[in-house]
Chain A
Amino acid sequence: MEPLLKVTGLKKHFPIKKGLLQRQTGAVKAVDGIDFEVLPGETLGVVGESGCGKSTMGRLITRLLEPTGGTVEFQGKDISHLGVGGMRPFRRDIQMIFQDPYGSLNPRHTVGTIVSAPFKLQGVEPEGGVRKEVQRLLGLVGLNPEHYNRYPHEFSGGQRQRIGIARALALKPKLVVADEPVSALDVSIQAQVVNLLDDLQQELGLTYVIIAHDLSVIRHVSDRIAVMYLGKIVELADRKSLYENPMHPYTRALMSAVPIPDPRRRGAKSERILLTGDVPSPIAPPPGCRFNTRCWKATEVCRTQEPPLVELRPGQRVACHHPENAESLTIPVARESVEITKAKPSETPAEATKAETPAEPEPEPESEPDSPKA
């Protein structure tokens, strides 16, 4: 299938300027060379810690930012350096849902004005008139169409997020990029919005790129998931493989860190991998593999050579010299590339502490929770 969105070598460096002459002294490498594609109708989840560049990535593919390097292709057309006018026809097809339901709606505009703004900007006259269409959209996202003339402050957080969704859907976009769509909402409201996004995708055949830091939410909504760390994708796989068989140590650590809402599993602390320290600065990322400063498997090669993102299993791309769960590799090329690096396993005591020492990469998923339902 032809991908809807194809990203190659995408980079965004924000310059740091100093002194009277505003000479550039460095750059924040927010996104530093990532590749992926999004197929029509699927949901790609992007997950990572704060500062990993996931939001910048979202702003690059919606072209709210211009990339420093690499290309963004939408339906085969390169949109990476189009100007405002050049982008305008594409704006109909690419829409964004923002995180903060308070900051993303103009407090002086009524809901009707907010949701109909896309029609005005694009010069579109919807069938049956703007007002009727806006009311249809409000109904679609579960708001009362009668509330057309109300202001944002009259709505709760969850309802405001629905207004933002209605606005994003006004022009019948093909791709919707949602940056932390539920993280500002309460738990009970989160579920409402997650279900709404789900229903809209089925009804309208939307393609989503959903950016979030919450691994449980990402697992719930995504078909494929990209894990980012310091401006790079470290692992990109379909949901099942990623959650059952994470291959990058960072993915594994990230998943084991999620607190499990089950008091009976509290004793299962041994499964948890505690990473030490913090994410290094994106101004001067560590050489080689960017995760090497916090990785318990890091060896010499990790500190010098950057691992490429290669397909180690069908549909699972990993950038690591010493992947986890690598026993059952089927792709010969992948096996080779792993074994080469395995040749010199210098047992350096890693900085990361781990309760159960991972002697060998285990073949089966180790953290498959089969706890009986309550």
Chain B
Amino acid sequence: MTDKLTKTGAAPGEPVVSSGAPSDAFLDVRDLKIHFPTDDGLVKSVDGLSFQLEKGKTLGIVGESGSGKSVTSLGIMGLHTVGQYGRQKARISGEIWLNGRELLSADPDEVRRMRGREMAMIFQDPLSAMHPYYTVGHQIVEAYRVHHPVDKKTAKRRAIELLDRVGIPEPAKRFDNYPHEFSGGMRQRAMIAMALVNNPELLIADEPTTALDVTVQAQILDLMRDLQKEFGSAVVIITHDLGVVAELADDILVMYGGRCVERGPAEQVFYEPQHPYTWGLLGSMPRIDREQTERLIPVKGNPPSLINIPSGCAFNPRCPYADVPKGGITRTQRPELALAGDRHFSACHMPQEERTRIWTEEIAPKL
């Protein structure tokens, strides 16, 4: 993911800022900022986010509600600027490179043509993401014919083929059903079919299984894994469930208060996490695969308001290690992402040896 950084000439650990040059990564997000002006102040939903993603790989974005995960995904899809009311329009800056093209400065019509074909999205709630007045088949055919000049018959064949591929029984019959006639799991499958109908190279799944039961969730995760192998697309999966990212993601990006606090290969983030917030997430979660722990280790306090993000490290009011001396660095200084291992970055002022010690000696044994 990030080893490309050195190639573009930046020092390791420093996100490339507006170099203007096309990147050789498939998806390259650089210093993305998405701010919403409101009556109460500027909501900084995403405040300087950078990451890269290769084809065939999966990036998991984890964070709590209000950490900016969904806003990021809508930003990549170019779905923010279309707000009807001037006041709610987002202020977006930074760069999003997809396949050598910059999306934020591109013509909206061009982005619209790419949407669906080169990048597609799976939403959390399939009932509200589908139109209740049209049959499921109609909606998939429509998505296909926008990008492919084929007759209805061919498109219908393609839609039925996709419905079959995502595991809907009797796809030819189900083609004519309305969304409400599908169960939750089937609707989610149909939406995946709709997203995949144009063979997109980038697939963004925003909480794809949150609304589903665990047995259905297992089916959908399995399906997504198989489909990625088959289609070889790049996938961004956004979720609050660490179990889901552990199942699917190659790389993990942990967001807090609109910024990335840690990012790296999945194994490293789970086994050698470098940020106190990641420790907090791991400690908060009851584990079904481990011996019963007596108590969970919660993160104290509440997530920050995005209008008034704490100065310095956004996590500092909740961080149990905020008072550890850090060699003259004050609380108001913001930590930048720094290399903490192979392709592993974290934004914390504590010296790395100290963090490794705290994790291995104090936190890991209690999990």
Residues in chain B near residue A333, CB distance under 8 A:
none
Give the residue of B65, B221, B240, B299 whose beta carbon is less than 8 angstroms from that of A259: B221
Asked if A257 contacts B284 (CB within 8 A), the reply is no
CA distance A189 to B283 in the complex (A): 11
* B214 & A220 in contact (Cβ 8 Å cutoff): no
Most buried by B among A220, A269, A369: A220
CA distance A259 to B214 in the complex (A): 8
In the assembled complex, how far is the CB of residue B309 from the closest CB belonging to chain A, in whole angstroms?
16
Residues of chain B contacted by A373 (CB below 8 angstroms): 290, 364-365, 367
Contacts of A215 in B (CB 8 A): 214, 288
Q: Is A79 an interface residue (CB 8 A)?
A: no
**Assembled-state Cα–Cα distance A186/B304 (Å):** 13
State which residues 160-199 of A face B: CB under 8 Å: 186-192, 194-195, 198
A186/B65 contact (C-beta < 8 A), A191-B297, A213-B213, A216-B285 known: yes
* B213 in complex: contacting residue of A50, A216, A219, CB < 8 Å: A50
Determine whether the beta carbon of A216 is less than 8 Å from that of B214: no
Interchain CB contact under 8 A, A260 and B288: yes
Q: Chain B 15-32, CB within 8 Å of chain A: the 1/0 string?
A: 000000000000000000
Nearest-CB distance from A367 to chain B (Å)?
8
**Judging by beta carbons under 8 Å apart, are B272 and A374 in contact?**
yes
Say yes or no: A258-B243 contact (C-beta < 8 A), given A213-B214, A263-B270, A369-B289. Answer: yes
A70 close to B (CB within 8 Å): no
**Given known A188-B64, A191-B284, A216-B285, contact A257–B217 (CB-CB < 8 A):** yes
- Residues of chain A contacted by B214 (CB below 8 angstroms): 49, 213, 215, 254, 257-258
B271 and A191 contact, CB distance less than 8 A: no
- CB-CB nearest in chain B for A51: B213
Q: How far is the CA of A198 from the CA of B293 in the complex (A)?
A: 13
- Taken together as a complex, chains A and B put the C-alpha atoms of A49 and B216 apart, in Å, by 10
Whether A255 pairs with B288 at a CB distance below 8 angstroms is yes
- Decide: B296 and A257 in contact? CB cutoff 8 A: no
- Complex: A278 Cα to B187 Cα, angstroms: 12
What residue in chain B is nearest A294 (Cβ atoms)? B215
B287 within 8 Å of A (CB atoms): yes
- Cα of A198 to Cα of B294 in the assembled complex, Å: 10
Assuming the A-B contacts A274-B218, A275-B215, A374-B367, are A262 and B286 also in contact, with contact meaning beta carbons closer than 8 angstroms in the complex? no
A186 to B280, CA, bound (A): 12
Is there an interface contact between A191 and B283, defined as CB atoms closer than 8 Å?
yes
Residues on A with C-beta less than 8 A from B244 are 259
B243: A residues at CB distance < 8 A: 258-261
CB-contacts of A264-287 with B (<8 A):
264-266, 269, 272, 274-276, 278-279
Among the listed A186, A255, A278, which residue makes an inter-chain contact with B303, where contact means beta carbons less than 8 Å apart?
A186
In the complex with contacts A187-B285, A274-B219, A220-B367 CB distance below 8 A: no
Contacts of A231-271 to chain B: CB distance below 8 A: 239, 243, 253-266, 269
B residues within 8 A CB of A220?
Answer: 286, 292-293, 296
- B65 CB to nearest A CB, Å: 6
Given the complex of chains A and B, what is the CA–CA distance between A256 and B280 in angstroms? 25
Complex: A188 Cα to B279 Cα, angstroms: 10
Q: Number of B interface residues, CB 8 Å?
A: 53
B302 close to A156 (CB less than 8 A)? yes
Residues of B within 8 A of A274 (CB): 218-219, 222
Chain B residues closer than 8 Å to A198, beta-carbon distance: 295
**Among B64, B184, B246, B297, contact of A261 (Cβ-Cβ < 8 Å):** B246
Contact B270 A194 (CB under 8 A): no
Contact of A259 with B247 at beta-carbon distance under 8 Å, contacts A198-B295, A278-B216 already known: yes
- Is B190 close to A, CB under 8 A? no
Closest chain-A Cβ to B267's Cβ sits at a distance in Å of: 5
User: In the bound complex, what is the Cα–Cα distance between A219 and B289 (angstroms)?
Assistant: 11
Instruction: Please determine whether B215 and A188 come into contact, CB atoms closer than 8 angstroms.
Output: no
Contact A261 B285 (CB under 8 A): yes
CA distance A262 to B281 in the complex (A): 13
A51 to B30, CA, bound (A): 44
Q: Which residues of the partner chain B approach A194 to less than 8 Å between Cβ atoms?
A: 286, 296
Q: How far is the CA of A65 from the CA of B54 in the complex (A)?
A: 55
- CA of A266 to CA of B249, assembled, Å: 10
Answer yes or no: A323 CB below 8 A from chain B CBs: no
Say yes or no: is A217 at the interface (Cβ < 8 Å to chain B).
yes
Q: Is A348 an interface residue (CB 8 A)?
A: no
In whole angstroms, what is the CA distance A186 to B365 when docked? 24
In whole angstroms, what is the CA distance A140 to B287 when docked?
A: 27
CB nearest neighbor in A for B186: A278
**Does A158 count as interface, using CB distance less than 8 angstroms?**
yes
Q: Mark A333-374, 1 if CB is under 8 A from B, else 0.
A: 000000000000000000000000000000000000101011
CB atoms of B281 and A187 under 8 A apart: yes
CB proximity to A under 8 Å, residues B201-220 = 213-219
| A243, closest chain B residue (CB) | B288
Within 8 A of B (CB), among A61-86: none
Q: A259-B246, A261-B270, A261-B285 are in contact. Are A49 and B302 (CB under 8 A)?
A: no
Q: What are 9 inter-chain pairs, A to B, with CB distance below 8 A?
A: A49-B215, A159-B302, A189-B64, A191-B297, A195-B296, A258-B243, A261-B289, A263-B267, A265-B246
What are the nearest 8 A-B pairs in CB distance? A259-B243, A191-B298, A191-B284, A188-B299, A220-B286, A257-B218, A369-B289, A191-B296
